Structure 1
């Protein structure tokens, strides 16, 4: 049977929502390259520079679930445009910042914008796409994620090389302003009426059902997530910051209890815990959180290793990731065509490819250390990693959300993305600390091997979850009497 083609409306929706997502993720990956220029230009102390990073990450991470809930409740189009407005405003202030505190405030505003608009993307795809079309839409989403991570450092390094230290870093932010404005205009022009309205499940009596925002659940989850992420973003400071982790975990445990109690009392909880009874969603959320805990540290490790360990310029170091970005884009599109047929086995194969790429990258660096090989062989091994990631991110998203009702898809996507952001914070803090520690004690080559070895451990953990899910699916299929499969 031929695959159903996307309608003009679907194509417009996909373009409108994916461009800002690319832009928001680019703001995470591009900032590392321009930080030295920012510090010199604004004469900012190291503590302020760290908050330029942390402020955006925290604001982005803590608002994802609340943003998804708001989109499900009030209409995804409204929250998406509000997120774009905040993102554009924050980018404008950042590009014109006169000092460190002004830049930090701008980054927090930008992070809030990202937290509002990102979960709407998942909600829109769930709402307006079905079956193979939905898989292809998520494939495009996966391509955007992979390319944004690799292309960000190239953009930052290229703008500094072209415009100089001061205006170069400013334009990494200012370039977002016209994009955000164009996306807002395009959203008003291209989104169908259903995008602006609350998604009401079939059969619900809207005349007697007012939106329930669950303020206690929303606040509790936000505070708990903030404390957990903040712990790892301030890992190098120790002391009182270590107390935030157990407090955050306790608050999140209480949040789970509250959400269950709130539902039993007839309320509409921020996150319905029945979501996690869905095996595919539960396993997929855990799997991708573990994967991001390791994989998102790859490019930070590579950048530091090449620049600090081997004296390579920021722009050249960033170019190492381009083949990987291209490979991710291509493999994501291939995966989108076959994921519904292959199931979670495709994700497991993607992780196997990723593990092969990590191991071969370690072997290259050992070759650099012992036999004088060229460090540029990493371009090939990291390109292989891009292939693997294309078979992981978008297929896992498709499979995890396949049975999630459209009216809660914003929240479901927000929970998944929050797990990814927390995993990124944890992994980046732990792996970069290890990288610098081993480099100081031994050498940068051994530091790279240790960091990539740790990343492999996290990918193996994610692979185990994928295998458990595959075995669970087979048990369920085996329990279905013959002749009932087609019903």
Structure 2
């Protein structure tokens, strides 16, 4: 089989070096960005392990515990696009530092919380901090790196995502085992403080200040109406999904609120078009979706995140409730997926210039094969051996995932102008958050409905739903490859 050549636009941005002289501090700046991003991603999985301790220490209700987890994701997703736009307009280093400071202060408040209500409020603030800084990471990679180095940088970002997923449950289990339930859950938040302080100091030293001054010279047109419409639309769309993940007892937010959210997002699109036509700078430049690969890449990312995040949700609950694994053992059991994703993300970044979108497509094929094999294990193996038998299929799926996430980011942002990189990255991550919320709600509903006794049948059925979502992402990627080949005259019209 011959490997398809990358489209001209792809080769020009991903595989060729720019004539600009690269900043000599770019790799140190990337290290700061990745450490800060790692901190925000780690805080998702590490908290899950501590929920029983939080419940006991603060007399938290099940609703409080749900909001400790989902509230973080909700505010995270709400501020991504406005934060990306602010980074484009006022300087990414400035917004990055602001996000780290907010996240660090919120982490301190989480650790000091004396009630579940205070903890939930601090977690909401923590999500805002994470949403402020994360779009700046992809924006800074776009700004500081060119050609093959950019692909390598995005590969390291993908590896960071995989490692944070793997380390979270294990790190949380170690902290709780060393410090005990009472103090352990507080130190899960306190460990962020030295990382945040170091990230601020090193960001001010290594991330170029010139980028911020260039941003300051651009027109300060922040589109407040667009911000409100997008924020309200995303909130209305995500809130019922987040609440539905809590099961049948959660009926506080009716499903029609999501329809209102979709309508608000439609109004947002109309407003952005009108705002642009009047000569203003919109919050989201809709011309981004006409760039080669951006719309298709965003679709692949959104649908894929709806599938693969549900895998961890199902397996960690089943291993603990159905098989009696401890939180630490359950975390170790899903580590092969995360470890494979981390390793292949670093390698995949270097393969993007050669294989292009086909790399993502083959990665999705591996994920599907690995998940089908995992389904076979859950359906045929009983007892504590399940985790051992599932290790190899999960590793295969993880290797495939590493060929999807960071290469897809690289390809999706390849033709985005540098001055819109923060906004483009924010839109891409918002789609991922919506996909995550929808996927966990759907997969969780299937799991709890089918696994009345915590049995393997419910885990297998919900895993099939997650696999189906990954298959949809594969179809979208195949369609994109076919359209690119047709545009290049490689297939018959």
Q: Shorter-chain TM-score: what band?
A: over 0.9
Question: Which of 406, 414, 429 is matched with 2:441 structurally?
Answer: 429
Post-superposition Cα deviations, 1:157-182, rounded to whole Å, max 9, x if no partner, equal 11111110011111111100110010
Look up the match of 1:293.
306
Aligned match of 1:221: 230
Contact 2:239 2:253 in 1 (8 A): no
Counting only pairs closer than 5 Å after superposition, residues 29-44 of structure 1 correspond to structure 2 as: 29-44=45-60
Gaps of 5+ in 2: 1-14
- Preserved contact between residue 146 and residue 389 of structure 1 (Cα < 8 Å): no
1:395 match: 407
1:318 lines up with 2:355 in the alignment:
no
> What SS does the corresponding residue of 2:414 show, helix, strand or coil?
coil
CA offset at residue 190 of structure 1? 0.9
Corresponding position of 2:426: 414
- 2:241 alignment counterpart: 232
Counterpart of 2:477 (choices 466, 479, 483) is 466
What is the deviation of 1:34? 0.7
Q: 1:345 aligns to what SS in structure 2?
A: helix
Distance in 2 (alpha carbons) for counterparts of 1:6 and 1:448: 49
Q: CA deviation at 1:191?
A: 1.4
Q: Distance in 2 between matches of 1:3 and 1:273?
A: 27
Query: After the TM superposition, which residues 341-420 of structure 1 pair with which residues of structure 2 at under 5 Å, given as runs?
Result: 341-369=354-382, 374-420=386-432
Conservation of the 8 A alpha-carbon contact between 1:290 and 1:459? yes
Q: Is the 8 A contact 1:262 1:268 kept in 2?
A: yes
Report whether the alignment pairs 1:75 with 2:91. yes
The 2-side partners of 1:364 and 1:396 are apart by 29
Is 1:357–1:381's contact at 8 Å kept on the other side of the alignment?
yes
Query: How do 1:223-262 and structure 2 match up within 5 A?
Result: 223-235=232-244, 236=247, 237-238=250-251, 240-262=253-275
- Other structure's SS at 2:354 match: helix
> TM-score w.r.t. structure 1 length?
0.93
Q: Which moved more, 1:4-13 or 1:226-235?
A: 4-13
Question: For the aligned residues, what is the CA RMSD?
Answer: 2.0
Q: 1:443 to 1:26 in 2, by over 3 A?
A: closer
Show the counterpart of 1:174.
Answer: 190
Residue pair 1:97, 1:103 contacting (<8 A) in 2 also: yes
What displacement does 1:3 show? Answer: 9.8
**Post-superposition offset of 1:243:** 2.4
Alpha-carbon distance in structure 1 between the residues aligned to 2:71 and 2:79 = 12
Q: How far did 1:329 drift? A: 2.0
The answer to whether the Cα contact below 8 Å between 1:76 and 1:198 also exists between their aligned partners in 2 is no
Give me the whole-angstrom Cα distance separating, in 1, the residues matched to 2:196 and 2:386: 42
- Counterpart CA distance in 2 for 1:13 and 1:321 is 31
1:304 and 1:443 map into 2 onto residues whose CA distance is: 8
Separation in 2, partners of 1:468, 1:104: 42
User: How do 1:134-283 and structure 2 match up within 5 A?
Assistant: 134-199=150-215, 210-235=219-244, 236=247, 237-238=250-251, 240-283=253-296
> In structure 1, how many angstroms separate the alpha carbons of the residues matched to 2:16 and 2:279?
42
Q: Take 1:89 and 1:20, find their aligned partners in 2: how far apart are those partners?
A: 14
Deviates more, 1:360-369 or 1:77-86: 360-369
Instruction: Encode CA deviations 1:175-197: one digit per residue, 9 max, x unaligned.
Output: 00110010000001111222322
The SS at the match of 1:403 is coil
Distance of aligned partners of 1:116 and 1:362 in 2 relative to their CA distance in 1, 3 Å threshold: same
Structure 1 contact 122–413 (Cα < 8 Å) conserved? yes
Conserved 8 A contact 1:303-1:317? yes
Q: Structure 2 length normalisation: TM-score?
A: 0.92
Give the Cα–Cα distance (whole angstroms) in 1 for the partners of residues 88 and 381 of structure 2. Answer: 52
Match of 2:9 in 1: none
* Structure 2 residue 44 is matched with structure 1 residue 28: yes
**Aligned with 2:428: secondary structure?**
helix
Tell me which of 112, 116, 132 is aligned to 2:132: 116
Structure 2 partner of 1:483 = none
Moved more, 73-82 or 326-335: 326-335
1:6–1:133 CA contact under 8 A, matched in 2: no
CA drift of 1:279 comes to 3.6
- Please identify, of 387-396 and 443-452, the stretch whose mean Cα deviation from structure 2 is larger: 443-452
Q: Secondary structure at 1:192's aligned position in 2?
A: coil
Report the CA distance between 1:241 and its aligned residue: 2.5
Length, aligned pairs only? 470
**Aligned to 1:475, which of 477, 483, 486?**
486
Q: By how many angstroms is 1:8 displaced?
A: 4.5
CA distance in structure 1 between the partners assigned to 2:173 and 2:26 by the alignment:
35
